[in-house]
Amino acid sequence: MKRLCLFLSCAIFPFCITTAYAGQSNYTGHDGVSVSSAISIRESQAVRFGNFSITSPGGGDAYIVLDINGTRTAYNGASTTITLLNGGTSDLGSQGPGYYYVSSAGSGATLYVTFVDHTGAAINSGNPVVLTGPVGSDNFYVDTMAFNSSGSDGTGPYITADGAGNAAIRIGATLHTKAGATTYAPGTYRGTFEIMVSY
């Protein structure tokens, strides 16, 4: 029998609780965890939409689609016209997909790839990557990010690592002009996103 007494300062007499145990049995539980090596991701080349010019900016309906092989296609809006320039692969303003390399994933691992912002929210038309450029210029927006997936299942699109646990990810995306834009000054426009790889 075990007795626990609680003495309350506002009471005249002590308040006591008595607990009795008919029997007791103990069993040792076990904890376990599986630790795997962390995969690493490195960028070899950023997503590059290359050089182009814009005539009569103002509509948000002009855009450039850059596929995972580096091919660009421009689509003009009602007022805004995009002209693609410098389609080479060696000049600074050339276009090309983003190249990212995954290592230490394990032989044949299924790697699910998603694109998010710094808060972890998915990149999409409602939450695009914002590209900012020279002071006073309007922004571009990037969404519809795609990669060289091996397939897709209920979890999403994935790429399969090779026998050494490595995978090369090529990324394409779509760049949009801004509705109501008035100025896109010559220069470089940059933005950031995060690649989330799970397995």
Which domain covers residue 99, as residue numbers?
38-198
At a CB cut-off of 8 Å and minimum separation 6, what does 170 contact? 68, 69, 97, 98, 99, 147, 148
Is residue 190 in some structural domain? yes
Is residue 91 in some structural domain? yes
pLDDT averaged per 10 residues in sequence order, the chain, 199 residues: 30 40 66 67 93 89 94 93 73 80 94 94 96 95 97 96 96 95 92 93
Phi first, then psi, for residue 117 (nearest 5°) are -90, -175
Is residue 24 in some structural domain? no
Is residue 7 in some structural domain? no
Can you give the CATH number for the domain in which 171 is found? 2.60.40
| Cut 0.95: pTM above it | no
**Considering Cα of 112, then 117, then 120, then 125, what sign does the dihedral take?**
negative
Distances in Å between the Cα of 1 and the Cα atoms of 19, 27, 57, 108, 158 are 7, 22, 85, 61, 61
Is residue 25 in some structural domain? no
Give the number of domains in the chain. Answer: 1
Is residue 16 in some structural domain? no
Q: Tell me if 43 sits within 8 A of 27, measured CB to CB.
A: no
DSSP 80: -
**pLDDT number for residue 16:** 41
Is residue 30 in some structural domain? no
Is residue 1 in some structural domain? no
